Structure 1
Amino acid sequence: MSNPYDPNQQVNANFPVNPIPGQGAQPQYVIATTPKSKAIAAILALFLGGLGIHNFYIGRNLVGVLQLVFFLAGGLIVIPLIFVGGIGFLLPIAFWIWILVEFVLILLGVPPFDRDSRGLPLE
């Protein structure tokens, strides 16, 4: 029985190998990925858009983190502004308009909402 980890082992010529010197013959693996669903992204945007879950789903993590932070910090910022300045209600309205626009862009397939972070089109 041969050692499968032996770097000097002969490899079948039809089997792809790792071309890095000193690494020996190693198989090349292709990771099969399935495309993300446009319907799931839209549903997440509609129901959990304030938390940025739809952006995490399609791989736009920075925007997802920003939306999550705005959502969590929104109560701390908006409530005092409503009582003090009276214009604090405009911030959550602008935030939810942002979410609604992203929901529509996902449904229409407008870039960058037509692909995930790997460049695969949403199906």
Structure 2
Amino acid sequence: MAAGLLAIFLGALGVHNFYLGFKGKAIAQLLISILSFGLLAFVSGIWAFIEGICILCSQPGSKWHKDADGAELQD
């Protein structure tokens, strides 16, 4: 639940991916937002919003219901 909400509200900065341990994706989202001076933040925001919905709607066992170490997310 927390990861999905972080994705929806702070996802353009990659906060949810840092939280889940996906450092590469998190750094990419953060750099897109910072290096474009916010002009491409909407791209990162849309990307994160979709990930947030996928995380919130995921079923146990799916790739969206696991962190970077493969541990199941708690609802």
**Gaps in structure 2 of 5+ consecutive residues:** none
When the two chains are superposed, the root-mean-square deviation of aligned CA atoms in Å is 1.9
Structure 2 letter corresponding to 1:121? E
**C-alpha distance in 2 between matches for 1:92 and 1:52:** 11
Comparing both chains, which one has the higher relative contact order based on Cα–Cα distances under 8 Å and sequence gaps of 6 or more? Answer: 2
**C-alpha distance in 1 between matches for 2:15 and 2:64:** 14
Whichever structure has more helix as a proportion of its residues is 2
| SS at 1:113 equivalent | helix
Alignment of 1:20-99 (within 5 A): 39-75=1-37, 78=39, 91-99=40-48
In the superposition, relative to structure 1, how do residues 55 and 121 fare at CA in structure 2: closer, same or farther (>3 Å)? same
Q: Report whether the alignment pairs 1:113 with 2:75.
A: no
- The structure number with the bigger radius of gyration is 1
Question: Which residue does 1:8 correspond to in 2?
Answer: none
Question: Which residue does 1:102 correspond to in 2?
Answer: 51
Structure 2 letter corresponding to 1:113? W
Using the TM superposition, give the Cα deviation of residue 92 of structure 1 relative to its aligned residue in structure 2, in angstroms.
4.2
When normalised by structure 2's length, the TM-score is 0.80
**Gaps in structure 1 of 5+ consecutive residues:** 1-38, 79-90
